Amino acid sequence: MFFTAWHRLETVLTTLVTLLAGAVFGLALAAPPGPMNAIIAEESVLRGWTAGFRAGLGAMTADVLFFVLTLGGVVAIVDGVPTVRPVLYLVGGLLMCYFAVGAIEEARNAASFTDGGQPASTGFRKTFALSLTNPYQIGFWLTVGVGLLEAGRLDVFAHVPAVGDLLAGTLVVQTGSATLLVGFFAGIAIWIVVYPAALVSAGRRVDALAPVVAALSAAVLAGFGALFLAMGAVRLL
C-alpha cells in the first residue's frame, strides 16, 4: 500500500514538473520582443485587453496549426522546396512594413489610452498572417516543436532568442510526453492573457503610454520588416 501511494505521488509530481517545464518553455518563447508582441502591445493600449488577447490568440492559433501540419508532414514538404523560405521572408517583410505604416497612423491619432474610439481590431488577422509567413516559426516546429512528443531530452532555455547561450543547460527536461506539449501551449496562453493586461493597467495610469507604445510597435515592425526583406533578397540572389 505504501509503495503504491508513493508511486502515485511520484507520478503526480512528475506530471506537475513536466507541465511547469512546458509552461516555462512556452512563456520563454512568447515573451521576447518581436513583431507579434509589438502588435499585441499596440492593440492592447489602443483598444483594450480583449483586442490584445485576440492578437495573441492569432499567433497561438498559427502555432497550433503548424504543430498539426508538422505532425502530418505537410510543413516538412513545403520547407523542402528551396524557394519557399526566401519568398516567406519577402512576404512577411512586406506585411510587417505594411502593418508598421498603420501603427504609425495610429500613434499619431492616439492622444491617450482608450478602450474605444479606434477602428475595429484586426490584431488576430495580423498576427496569424505574420506567423504563417514566419520562416523561424516554421523552422521551430520542424525541429524543436515536433520533438516535444519524441522521446529524448530538451534544453529549454537553449532555444530562447537572445539569452539561449547564457541559460543553456539550466533547465533540461525529458520529452516524449503530451503533458509537456500541454504545458507549452499553457505557457503561451498565460502570456497572451497577462501581457495585454499589464499594458492596459499601465496605460490607464499613464495616458501618454498609448501613442508611445504604438510608435514603438511601428518601429519594431518596420525594423523586422526591413530585416526580413533583406534576408529574402539575399537568399534569392
pLDDT of residue 179: 85
pLDDT of residue 115: 47
pLDDT of residue 5: 59
pLDDT of residue 97: 92
Q: Is the Cβ–Cβ distance between 49 and 209 less than 8 Å?
A: no
Q: Is the Cβ–Cβ distance between 97 and 226 less than 8 Å?
A: yes
pLDDT of residue 188: 94
pLDDT of residue 206: 58
> Burial of 36 by CB count in 10 Å (0-12 exposed, 13-18 middle, 19+ buried)?
buried
pLDDT of residue 212: 78
Q: Average pLDDT of each block of 10 consecutive residues along the chain (237 residues)?
A: 59 80 86 89 88 94 89 73 83 90 77 54 89 85 76 71 64 77 92 92 68 84 90 83
Which helix (H) or strand (E) is 173 found in, with range?
strand 172-175
Q: Of 195, 191, 192, 177, which Cα lies nearest the Cα of 19? A: 177
Residue in the block written with cell 495610429: 106
Q: What residue spans define the domains of the chain?
A: 36-152+185-236
Check residue 176 and report its DSSP letter: -
Instruction: Please say whether the dihedral angle defined by the alpha carbons of residues 76, 231, 26 and 34, taken in this order, is positive or negative.
Output: negative
pLDDT of residue 4: 64
pLDDT of residue 201: 83
Give backbone dihedrals phi and psi of 155, rounded to 5 degrees, phi first. Answer: -85, 95
